[in-house]
Amino acid sequence: MAGKMQLVRVTVPSQDFISTVDAMAKWLTSEGIIVPLSTFSGDKDKRNISFGFSSDAEGKRFAERFGGELRP
């Protein structure tokens, strides 16, 4: 049975989207974290970047690093 996933949402200004995703990818790689779920949404002003983590601890560290919000 699959476990519960820790969801984290980060909201950034649209003009910072590419650089933020790049920084996130580099951080995830350096930490050896594989994210099984990711979604992106938004408009011309802001973008929501959401990741699902297999581990609560990984999700919490990511949220702290990127100013994310832990989601139920």
pLDDT at residue 2, as a whole number: 54
pLDDT at residue 1, as a whole number: 37
pLDDT at residue 16, as a whole number: 96
Digit-by-digit pLDDT tens for the chain (72 residues) are 356 899 999 999 999 999 999 999 999 999 999 999 999 999 999 999 999 999 999 999 999 999 999 998
DSSP string, 49-70: EEEEESSHHHHHHHHHHHT-EE
The CA distances from residue 2 to 5, 42, 54, 65, in Å, are 9, 29, 10, 26
pLDDT at residue 17, as a whole number: 96
The amino acid sitting at 1 is: M
Distance CA 49, CA 42 (A): 9
pLDDT at residue 72, as a whole number: 81
